[in-house]
């Protein structure tokens, strides 16, 4: 049972990440490889605020949100000069930079060894120390974020994002300053990712820079592509599938010597298979 609660927590956190990146990649067409950076900023802001400054978790989350919004605007401003593939490469570069900062700013971030002993959230005297209560907290947040995403994509603003994805030059001709729209959604996605980061930090109670590098960005991207681009439910399905698949493979009786490698092989094959036969992902609206 504890195991299932653990899985549910992880899936919820990754659902938030998937939802946040889907807004940027699936709806707006910006192939960003730096979402883990904002995930990490949220995690570190929470960790530092709680351990070094004794702040309350929820206040730390707000700080994380503000920090990630600011970094997103700064990073987004620089990246907005690039198109297509160069945008992606640039975002990739930014993730590397953020990871490097986390590793090297030892005095502040604890360097490569990271920050331990991050406490669970507490509110009005109640601490979410039990995993079940923590799950409820994360789940509620994930649901709220899901509804925010739905609101955004169903609004006129959401329609503009899709038009930018389809043909940015054409929608400009009809009177839209697309740069601001791209910056806005980049920041919104970053803010949501930082919320996921805050929960992650508190749940694991220990974070280190290696957890927020480009491999993680790639993983978040695969959740979005897998579950289906431009479909909010798809982001959640993608998270569930990609978290559960390796877990399910634990139960398949592979010979112990090569079990781990075999699992990775099966995992990789499953992804390839799905991309070959269903490039729009599980429930996606948009094929890359």
Partner 1 sequence: MSTIKIKNLYKHFDGIKAVDHLNLSFESGKITGLIGPNGSGKSTLINLLTGVVPFDSGVVIISETTKLLRVKPYDMASFDITRTFQDVRLFEQMPVIDNILVVLTKRGIVGSLFEQHKKYHLEKAKEVLERVGLWEKRNELAADLSYGQRKLLEIARALAMNADIYFFDEPFAGLFPEIIKVVSSILKELRDKGKTVVLVEHNMELIRELSDYCIVMDSGELLAEGKPNDVLSQKAVIEAYLGE
Which residues contact partner 1 (rule: CB under 8 A)? 152, 155-157, 159-160, 162-163, 165-167, 169-178, 180-181, 184, 285-286
Residue 170 CB, shortest distance to partner 1, in Å, is 4
Give the residue from 4, 16, 1 showing the smallest Cα distance to 200. 16
Cα–Cα distance for residue pair 6/1, rounded to 1 Å: 9
Residue 222 CB, shortest distance to partner 1, in Å, is 21
Which C-beta is closer to partner 1: that of 133 or that of 172? 172
Dihedrals phi, psi of 126, to nearest 5 degrees: -95, 130
Which C-beta is closer to partner 1: that of 155 or that of 264? 155
How far out from the chain centre does Cα 129 lie? 24
Which C-beta is closer to partner 1: that of 81 or that of 106? 81
Give the residue from 70, 59, 15, 49 showing the smallest Cα distance to 190. 70
Residue located via tokens 């990630």: 68
Residue 165 CB, shortest distance to partner 1, in Å, is 8
Give the residue from 76, 74, 89 showing the smallest Cα distance to 179. 76
Name the 3-class secondary structure at 127. strand
Residue 71 CB, shortest distance to partner 1, in Å, is 19
Which C-beta is closer to partner 1: that of 163 or that of 223? 163
Cα–Cα distance for residue pair 9/136, rounded to 1 Å: 9
Residue 84 CB, shortest distance to partner 1, in Å, is 17
Residues 78-112, buried b or exposed e (16+ Cβ, 10 A)? ebbeeeeeebbebbbbbbbebbebbbeeeeebbee
Print the SS3 string covering 248-283: HHHCCCCCHHHHHHHHHHHHHHHHHHHHHHCCCCCC
Residue 280 CB, shortest distance to partner 1, in Å, is 10
Name the 3-class secondary structure at 123. strand
Which C-beta is closer to partner 1: that of 176 or that of 206? 176
Which C-beta is closer to partner 1: that of 6 or that of 162? 162
Residue 20 CB, shortest distance to partner 1, in Å, is 17
Residue located via tokens 């707006």: 28
Q: Which residues pair with 115 in a beta bridge?
A: 207
Which C-beta is closer to partner 1: that of 136 or that of 282? 282
């Amino acid at each position: 049972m504890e195991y299932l609660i653990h899985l549910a927590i992880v899936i919820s956190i990754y659902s938030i990440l998937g939802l946040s990146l889907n807004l940027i990649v699936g709806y707006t067409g910006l192939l960003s490889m730096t979402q883990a950076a904002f995930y990490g900023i949220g995690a570190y802001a929470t960790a530092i605020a709680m351990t070094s400054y004794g702040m309350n978790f929820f206040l730390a989350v707000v700080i994380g949100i503000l920090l990630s919004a600011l970094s997103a605007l700064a990073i987004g401003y620089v990246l907005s000069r690039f198109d297509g593939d160069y945008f992606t490469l640039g975002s990739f570069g930014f993730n590397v930079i953020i990871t490097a900062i986390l590793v090297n700013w030892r005095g502040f971030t604890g360097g490569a060894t990271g920050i331990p002993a991050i406490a669970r959230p507490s509110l009005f005297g109640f601490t979410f120390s039990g995993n079940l209560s923590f799950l409820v907290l994360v789940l509620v947040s994930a649901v709220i974020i899901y509804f925010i995403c739905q609101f955004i994509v169903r609004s006129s603003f959401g329609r503009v994002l899709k038009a930018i994805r389809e043909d940015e030059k054409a929608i400009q001709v009809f009177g839209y300053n697309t740069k601001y729209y791209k910056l806005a959604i980049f920041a919104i996605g970053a803010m949501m990712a930082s919320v996921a980061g805050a929960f992650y930090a508190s749940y694991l109670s220990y974070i280190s820079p290696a957890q927020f590098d480009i491999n993680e960005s790639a993983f978040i991207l695969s959740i979005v592509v897998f579950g289906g681009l431009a479909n909010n439910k798809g982001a959640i399905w993608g998270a569930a599938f990609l978290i559960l698949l390796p877990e399910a493979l634990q139960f398949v009786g592979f010979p112990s010597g090569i079990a781990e490698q075999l699992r990775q092989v099966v995992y990789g094959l499953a992804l390839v298979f799905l991309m070959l036969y269903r490039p729009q992902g599980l429930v996606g609206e948009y094929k890359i």
